[in-house]
Amino acid sequence: MQLTPPNPRQAFTLFEISISLALVSFGVISVLMLLPAGIKAQQMARYQILASAKALELVEAYNATHNGNPAIDVEANAPWNVHINAKNLHPDLESRVSSYRYGMFPLPNDIAKRLDSDGDEIQRVIADGAQLYYSQPLATTGFQENGFAPTAPPNEAQRMIMAVVGYPQNNALLHLPEKAWPYYAAYPSPPMHIIHRNNSDVDTADVKPMGSWQSMLWEDLNLGPYGLQLRPVYLAYYDYSRIDPTLALGSQPLVDAAQIYADRLVAWCQGLGLPAACYDGQSLLTDFPSATDRHLQVVAARIMGHAGPVMLAQGVTAAGTVTFTATTVARMHENALFLGNQFAARYPYDWGAPRPLQRAIMMDTPLIEYDQLRLPRSGTIFGTTKAASQWYPVTPHPVINAGVSMTYPKAATPTSWAALWSPSVNSTLTAPFEPAERCRQIVFWAVDWQSYEDFETAPSAPVDAGRLPKYAPSPNKNFTDLIKRSGDGGLGTWMDHHQFGYRNPEKMILFNGDMGLVQTGTATPPGKSNNPGVHGPDQFGGQTNDQGLGTAEMSRFIGRWGADRNANQQLDRGQVPRSTRMRAVTVARFNYYDLRVPAVIR
């Protein structure tokens, strides 16, 4: 028999309820306490994804972007007279990618100096002379100059800043200002002549002026006395090329002129004592006929390879001991290509013969660096009294038959060339190295720097003077002329669409005037911003308001009045006063290989 309690309980007691409520409250409070940490973790994960994508984008641009600047002078009579080896053209990531084309812009120093970070890393980076960078709202735009599209949407990537940590290396030169080797010529081809600006540099090498310009026979000066003896050959070919083109092949004027061209060329080859095998076409070559004067053998083979088909077409059968038949002319052509290719491959530091245009490859470019183990040479910047200095160049192997440059042939003589180079033992480009020596880091931080009241009105970060396009010395021009734009007495407008490493990286968004009295939130007034003045027309050279040495032009060039840094085409000011410091949180670090040569991987 089972007894039932008289009054069984129908619910929890108050004590039990209070315990349950306490447990629930504890759980809710715990969740609420963990929620900010969870949000921060989610936000950090998002920043890490953005940083990863940006790092891949930057390294891809670094490895594959165009490293040529065709609309700039590369040769001068002294290295400080052209801006061709300044920091902006070095094969360093921050130099190549920090451009209005590739989406990595220097953060204003006024803002960068207010940022704290773990281990005070940001301030140490700045103290070492480096810069912080921010991203454009869109992906890297390559050749496009209008990457900051009108009404670009807000982008979380702009809340990240980045820096390249680790010292760059002593890089190879993009070009040697005294002579931007390699020079190229088609193989075969006649003696090399170039149209040259009128000045005293050409002097007696001026042959057959073209209108108001000079036509310089390059081999005349480059090969020394051998080149001077080649001048009659060039003049004979010039006379042949100027005969009425409507005359039929084999006409007497053409035959006579071709015969003179061939006779003089054979006489030049024989006068130098060159082996006949390099020019007579009697056999196909498998090596250089002799070990001496191989650069002259290449020049002779190249010109004879051109002359042979001319003789065959005009019916000229012989010149001295050289005969012109279908067989010998074919061999002349093959030998010209063979010797040209062999010479370029085997003697990279012999500059006595131009490289074959048909096989232009990166290995034609000599490895030249500046020797920082030696005191620099000094001089004066053209058109000024300002002193300048530059290290001596050095190569892994001594340069021979250096010759002269096409632009300033009188600036280099055998004596000056000998004094130009540092000993090859000081070269480091081909020396063994540890991987760590060529490893640098891209470091990302997250910070809301656009909350500062002056995030758009702060001046641009300092702009390297090498980013200012400048002509090489020119007759009857002063320093101001070499900088000025067209319309101000200068030499012509700089074509920005052919320049990838020059100008202020923020050029596309710079304000063109003082924004102090412009109300926050209003559209950028006409004349005050490069929007849309640079968003569109400047990509084809139409914008010239930062070209010149005037106060207004230089103020725009250095970004004196700030920039539309969020690309919304209006002036914005944040709520945080400039006296407030912000803490940047480290997001990610990425190691990458630091190039020493100006190469493009693909």
| Residue span of the structural domain in which 240 resides | 185-356
Question: Are 296 and 316 found together in one domain?
Answer: yes
**What is the predicted pLDDT for the residue at 112?**
96
Which pLDDT score is estimated for 487? 40
Confidence of residue 405 (pLDDT cuts 50, 70, 90): confident
If asked whether residues 55 and 144 sit together in one domain, one would say yes
CA atoms within 13 A on the CB side of 454: 20
Mean pLDDT score, 232-258: 92
Report phi then psi at 100, rounded to 5. -70, -5
* Domain stop point among 321, 356, 391: 356
Position 491 scores a pLDDT of: 61
C-beta of residue 283 within 8 angstroms of C-beta of residue 274: no
- Residue 211 vs residue 151, higher pLDDT: 211
pLDDT given at position 201 = 61
Residue-level pLDDT at 569: 82
More confident residue, 528 or 286: 286
pLDDT confidence of residue 531: 46
Domain assignment present for residue 314? The answer is yes
Judge if 332 and 459 occupy the same domain. no
141-145, 236-240, 294-298: which has the minimum mean pLDDT? 141-145
How crowded is the C-beta side of 239, counted as CA atoms within 13 Å? 16
- Cα–Cα dist 555/460, whole Å: 10
Would you place residue 147 in the very low, low, confident or very high pLDDT band (cuts 50, 70, 90)? very low
Q: What is the pLDDT of residue 538?
A: 37
For residue range 302-344, list pLDDT tens digits in order: 999 999 999 999 999 999 999 999 999 999 999 999 999 999 9
What does the pLDDT read at residue 30?
74
User: pLDDT tens for residues 43-54?
Assistant: 888 899 999 999
Whole-number pLDDT of residue 399:
93
* pLDDT given for residue 205 in this prediction: 61
The string of DSSP letters for 246-291 reads TSPTT-HHHHHHHHHHHHHHHHHHHHTT--GGGTS-SS--SS-S-S
How many separate domains does the chain show? 2
**53 and 142 housed in the same domain:** yes
Same domain, 252 and 137: no
Amino acid identity of residue 482, one-letter, is L
Q: What's the confidence (pLDDT) of residue 525? A: 57
The top-scoring range by mean pLDDT among 111-120, 227-236, 472-481, 529-538 is 111-120
- Taking the model in full, what pTM does it have? 0.84
Confidence band, pLDDT 50/70/90 cuts, at residue 3: low
Residue 172 sits at φ, ψ, to 5 deg, of -70, 150
One domain, residues 156 and 193: no
| Predicted local confidence at residue 548, as pLDDT | 77
Tokens of 475: 């007759």
Residue 530 banded pLDDT, cuts 50, 70, 90: low
Of residues 224 and 251, more confidently modeled: 251
pLDDT of residue 536: 33
Q: What is the pLDDT of residue 320?
A: 92
Higher pLDDT, 23 or 575: 575
Residue 203 scores a pLDDT above 70: no
- pLDDT band at 31; cut points 50, 70, 90: confident
pLDDT band of residue 534 (cuts 50, 70, 90) is very low
Confidence of residue 37 (pLDDT cuts 50, 70, 90): low
Residue 532, classed as helix, strand or coil, is coil
- Mean pLDDT over 141-151 rounds to 51
Distance between CA atoms of residues 57 and 60, nearest Å: 5
363 part of a folded domain: no
- Report residue 82 as tokens: 């052209």
pLDDT tier for residue 533 given thresholds of 50, 70 and 90: very low
Q: Would the pLDDT of 527 be above 60?
A: no
Average the pLDDT over 500-506 and give the result: 85
State the Cα–Cα distance between residues 188 and 304, nearest whole angstrom. Answer: 8
Mean pLDDT of 68-72: 75
Looking at the domain assignment, is residue 420 inside a domain?
Answer: no
The domain boundary residue, chosen from 322, 340, 356: 356
Identify the band that residue 532 occupies on the pLDDT scale cut at 50, 70 and 90: very low
Give the pLDDT of residue 290: 93
Q: What is the pLDDT of residue 540?
A: 29
Beta strand 392-394 with 387-390 is unpaired
342 within a domain of the structure (yes/no): yes
Residue 539: what pLDDT?
32
DSSP state string for 265-276:
HHHHHHHTT--G
In this structure, is residue 321 part of a structural domain? yes
Q: Is residue 337 part of a domain?
A: yes
pLDDT value at 206 more than 70:
no
Using pLDDT thresholds of 50, 70 and 90, give the confidence band for residue 187.
Answer: very high
The stretch 565-579 carries a mean pLDDT of 90
State mean pLDDT over 35-43.
71
Whether the per-residue pLDDT at 60 is higher than 60: the answer is yes
3-state secondary structure of 499: coil
Give the C-alpha separation, 428 to 172, whole Å.
10
Residues 444 and 557 in one domain: yes
User: Residue 219 falls within a domain, yes or no?
Assistant: yes
- Rounded average pLDDT over 195-212: 61
In a domain, 415, yes or no: no
Residue 83 has pLDDT above 80, yes or no: yes
Element (H, E) at 389: strand 387-390
Residues 125 and 215 in one domain: no
pLDDT score at 404 = 83
Give per-residue pLDDT as tens, 333-375: 999 999 999 999 999 999 999 999 999 998 899 999 999 989 9
Tell me which residue of 502, 500, 446, 465 sits closest to 132, measured CA to CA: 446
User: How many residues appear in the chain?
Assistant: 602
Share of the chain above pLDDT 90, in %: 48
Mark out the alpha helices in 289-353 (DSSP H runs): 294-314, 326-346
Q: Can you tell me the mean pLDDT for 269-293?
A: 95
Average pLDDT value over all residues in the chain: 84
Asked if pLDDT for residue 495 goes beyond 90, the answer is: no
Q: Do both 112 and 195 map to the same domain? A: no
Domain co-membership, 111 together with 144: yes
Say how many C-beta atoms besides its own lie within 10 A of residue 514's C-beta: 13
Over residues 412-453, the pLDDT tens digits come to 666 678 888 999 999 999 999 998 889 999 999 999 999 999
Where is the domain boundary, 356, 374, 397?
356
My answer on whether 161 and 191 are in the same domain is no
One domain for residues 110 and 81? yes
